[in-house]
Chain A
Amino acid sequence: MSEVINEIQELVEDTQKGRYLTFAIGKEFYGIEIKYVTEIINIQKITEVPELPSYIKGIINLRGKIIPVLDVRLRFKKEAKEYNDRTCIVVVDIEDISVGLIVDSVSEVTSITENDIVPPPDANTGFSNKYIKGIGKVGDEVKLLLDCSKLLSDEDCDSLAKITQ
């Protein structure tokens, strides 16, 4: 019985492997592994929560479930942009934490094989971005692949929790 389940799980993981949801922030395209993504919703009313870092926009009501939303733009220390009808919330589920990521627009789901992924240039060259774990090549385009857990796990947020306690 359990073997069968394992097989099924492997199968599911296999079909998801190497598939990325890509979205745009400004001019860049980013990708996150599809296995983290639960759904994509339109921007909706966000309830502000005071005393949080500015990139945590607040909380939303996702069918009775309350989840926090992060503005990825602000997270990457880019300039804030007015939300429009292309703005989406990508709901991701990472280590049992559901979080909504606000992105400028969602483009597509693509497959990127491991051969097409190169590690990001290391910090010595002056490029440092702790949220990028790889760079994927799709045709002529380049997608920055995000490390989801780093996106969430957050020194700022931890220290914040300590202060408020």
Chain B
Amino acid sequence: MTDNMDREPMLEMFIFETYQLIDQLEQALLSFEKGAGFEASINEIFRIMHTIKGSAAMMLFDNISTLAHSMEDLFFYLREERPENVEPSKIIDIVFEGVDFIKAETAKIESGLEPDGNSEQLKEKALEYLQHLKNSNPSSDNAKYEAKKEGTKESHENVEQKYYISSSKNTQKLMTNKYEAIIFFEDGCEMENIRAFSVVHDLESVAEIISYVPEDVMENSDSVQTIRDKGFKVVFKTDLGLDEVKDRLYHTVLLKDLQVFLTDDDLEGFEFIENKEIDVEQKEAQSNTEKKNIVLDDINEEQIKDFDKKSESGKASLENVKEQLKTVGKQSVISVNIAKLDLLMDLVGELVISGAMVTQNPDLKGLTLNNFSKAARQLNKITGELQDIVMSIRMVPLSMTFQKMNRIVRDMSKKLDKSVELEIIGEETEVDKNIIERITDPLIHLIRNSIDHGIERSDERLEKGKNPTGKLVLEARNAGGEVWIIVKDDGKGLNREKILERARVNGLIHKPEAELTDREIYSFIFLPGFSTKENVTEFSGRGVGMDIVTKNIEMVGGSVQIDSIPGEGTTFLIKFPLTLAIIDGMIIAVGCNKYTIPTIAILESFRVKNEAVIEDENGNEMIMVRGECYPVVRLHRRFGIDTEVTDFNEGIMIMLESEGKRRCIFADELLGEQQVVVKALPKYIKKVNAIAGCTLLGDGDISLILDIDDIIQ
């Protein structure tokens, strides 16, 4: 661990893990606050604090580990004693403060600074409250609790010692440790004897095998039954530490249960070990027998090794380890650098193109190649799937971002003494990772604004005949090839007059006031330096913020709309363009160009008979469909493309809908439907009217994606 090369990845792991744990912790705290599964939450919080403590101590971040330790103590007490008069909100406040501290420190570590914050005060607070709880619950169990606590502490030290000893031993002596391992294989895994032999074989590379029971594993097939019943017992000598041996054995395939002890038999070299060490070793052996029944699922071995190092012995830790194993099973997730994903995506794109170059090679024209085309189809299928997967990897559900808002709503409503309930809808909606990063800050701003300015105090709400608890809805959905995020509150709504007046004062109105729509007026609040709030609060009102919201959203090519009904609430609608979202698209041809229309915007497509087409005096064409009249846009005219298909009878008419408006576009032909990944146009070109982005088709061609809103407006 003193090795510098080792430290970097460990530090990274620590940072990653801690952030993840903190996120989990916040979730647990919030559900704890809601009173849901009181017990489960306490266990979860205790476990997380314990893990943070362990890893922080390992990395020598004392301020974090001591704070986590005090929190852990608090929850240990709660869990063991279940005191009567607990004030969950107070505990949660204490823990949240602690969480914030840990978060801030971890951020410092991440940016390469020393985590120098002082956690003493927070620690005191936690201990104080613990003392307070203890005093108010002077049950006889207190002694028991203390004793238990002492117990854990002591054994904790043992564990640390054990680590020290085992590593020092490695360097000093050879083949000095004698172990006895009993291995059980999964039920019904068959051929236990051969598996057992392979274990022996594997151990031979690092250890000297003394004996194993049953001895005749290879010769006697009856040994299978013995191994099934009693397990396979190996005695061997090695210079590896207990942890290493365990780690090695855990790699055994289809392992169900494993017990490893140090045996007390005399061995050469054993005399060199001091008395005290023997003592500790025996203890170690004991503590490990206590742990022997850990059931293994398909778990990451490294984690187990970690836990072995970190976890305390005794009952508490046994439970702990089990719990940790459970959650480890859930996290079958790794973090990958986005740049690598981008690279992978480009490479797959290249693969698709070169695939097409082979299968559609001009040299093959005119040849009948049955087997070749079979193989080529298979290749196409696989590359297609590969492409789909790579593209979907970048998509991340919004749930993490949305769940973060829970915390903000809670803090805000507490500070402002308002009662607010947050409802989350559609958190499973998937959005490109880049967008998620950009969306978090705007969302926080909008939610803060809604709670601060929108939702009234409970008494005020009661007076107005509303539910005293304000409601905030955070919703995400896919709509018309866009992603919509809606933040809706049922507060007092925006003050149209006030905004108008303010806009007038700031000289923001550039057209006759009577012509301004409500939406336009409300949009003024997104301009820099605009705030109707006279008194600035901690959270909002300085007029910065709302313009950041729009800026951030515009950076990913999105837009924000506001709707507000006085007295009933305000709705913010954030729309993201298709940037990098995967959409279902209809590919159409116009001249030699291929365009993609988001399928969701298409109502129908049909062939026309000329008599249904009407032309007005300005040359605008319209078409009658089932008694309704729709304007027609000829794409080739709109985009200035040469095409032979200019007669309505020859091409195809596609009816599109966006925001309730319908329009028909005229194209040469439909080429087919396909899932496409939207890419932004190169920055150099900037925004082009009526084009939302572009996408790569299977053959490597680029297809432009039409911006339906632009076409219809």
Contacts and interface: CB of A to CB of B under 8 A. Distances in A.
| Across the A-B interface, the 10 shortest Cβ-Cβ residue pairs | A64-B349, A64-B346, A50-B639, A47-B702, A161-B686, A63-B350, A164-B689, A68-B682, A68-B684, A61-B702
Contacts of B353: 61, 63
Interface string B670-713: 00000000010111111111110010100011111000000000
Contact of A164 (B349, B684, B687, B701): B687
Interface centre among A48, A50, A52 (most CB of B within 10 A): A50
Contact of B688 (A50, A63, A98): A50
Interface string B41-57: 00000000000000000
Contacts of B704: 47, 49
Nearest to B349: A64
B694 A59 contact: yes
Interface centre among B641, B685, B689 (most CB of A within 10 A): B685
Nearest to B350: A63
A63 B346 contact: yes
Given A61-B701, A97-B683, 13 more contacts: A45-B701, A47-B703, A48-B593, A49-B685, A51-B689, A51-B690, A59-B681, A59-B702, A61-B696, A66-B679, A66-B696, A98-B682, A164-B686
A66 B579 CA distance: 14
Nearest to B710: A164
Contacts of B700: 61
Contacts of A48: 593, 639, 641
Interface string B567-590: 000000000000000000000000
Contacts of A59: 681-682, 685, 694, 702
B694 A66 contact: yes
B593 A64 contact: no
Contacts of A47: 593, 694, 701-704
Contacts of B691: 49-50
Contact of A97 (B347, B684, B690, B702): B684
A67 B682 CA distance: 6
B415 interface: no
Interface residues of B, number: 31
Contact of A165 (B681, B687, B696): B687
A49 B638 contact: no
B685 A52 contact: yes
B348 interface: yes
A71 B353 CA distance: 24
A99 B683 CA distance: 10
B405 interface: no
A152 interface: yes
B633 interface: no
Given A59-B682, A60-B702, A98-B682, A51 B688 contact: yes
Contacts of A61: 349, 353, 696, 700-702
Nearest to B690: A50
Interface string A39-75: 0000001011111100010011101111110000000
A11 interface: no
B345 interface: yes
B9 interface: no
B640 interface: yes
Interface centre among A66, A67, A68, A97 (most CB of B within 10 A): A66
Interface string B632-643: 000000111100
B657 to A, nearest CB: 22
Contacts of A56: 685
Nearest to B638: A50
A45 B639 CA distance: 18
Interface in B344-363: 345-350, 353
A157 interface: yes
Contacts of B703: 47
A152 B702 contact: no
Interface centre among A49, A52, A157 (most CB of B within 10 A): A49
A152 B348 CA distance: 30
Nearest to A50: B639
Contacts of A98: 682
A66 B682 contact: yes
A52 B593 contact: no
A52 B689 CA distance: 10
Interface of B: 345-350, 353, 593, 638-641, 679, 681-691, 694, 696, 700-704
Contact of B640 (A50, A65, A68, A99): A50
A64 B701 contact: no
A5 to B, nearest CB: 17
Contacts of B701: 45, 47, 61
A157 B686 contact: yes
A134 to B, nearest CB: 25
B667 to A, nearest CB: 14
A64 B593 CA distance: 18
A15 to B, nearest CB: 26
B358 to A, nearest CB: 16
Nearest to B682: A68
Contacts of B690: 50-51
Interface centre among A52, A64, A161, A164 (most CB of B within 10 A): A64
A165 B687 CA distance: 7
11 contacts: A47-B593, A47-B702, A49-B685, A50-B638, A51-B690, A63-B349, A63-B350, A64-B349, A68-B681, A68-B682, A157-B686
Interface in A124-139: none
Contacts of A161: 686-687
Nearest to B635: A50
Contacts of B347: 63-64
Contacts of A66: 679, 681-682, 694, 696, 702
Interface string A104-145: 000000000000000000000000000000000000000000
A98 B345 CA distance: 18
B706 to A, nearest CB: 10
Contacts of A97: 682-684
A132 B443 CA distance: 48
Nearest to B679: A66
A99 B682 CA distance: 9
A60 B353 CA distance: 13
A49 B700 CA distance: 17
Nearest to A44: B700
Contacts of B686: 157, 160-161, 164
A164 B349 CA distance: 31
A142 to B, nearest CB: 30
Contacts of B685: 49, 52, 56, 59, 68
A60 B703 CA distance: 10
A48 B702 CA distance: 9
A91 B107 CA distance: 40
A61 B346 CA distance: 10
A97 B638 CA distance: 29
A48 to B, nearest CB: 6
Contacts of B638: 50
Contacts of B640: 50
B702 A64 contact: no
A162 B239 CA distance: 74
Contacts of A164: 686-689
Nearest to A46: B702
Nearest to A160: B686
Contacts of A160: 686
A162 to B, nearest CB: 9
Interface string A8-49: 000000000000000000000000000000000000010111
B696 A64 contact: yes
Interface centre among B686, B689, B691, B701 (most CB of A within 10 A): B686
Given A48-B593, A59-B702, A60-B702, A65 B346 contact: yes
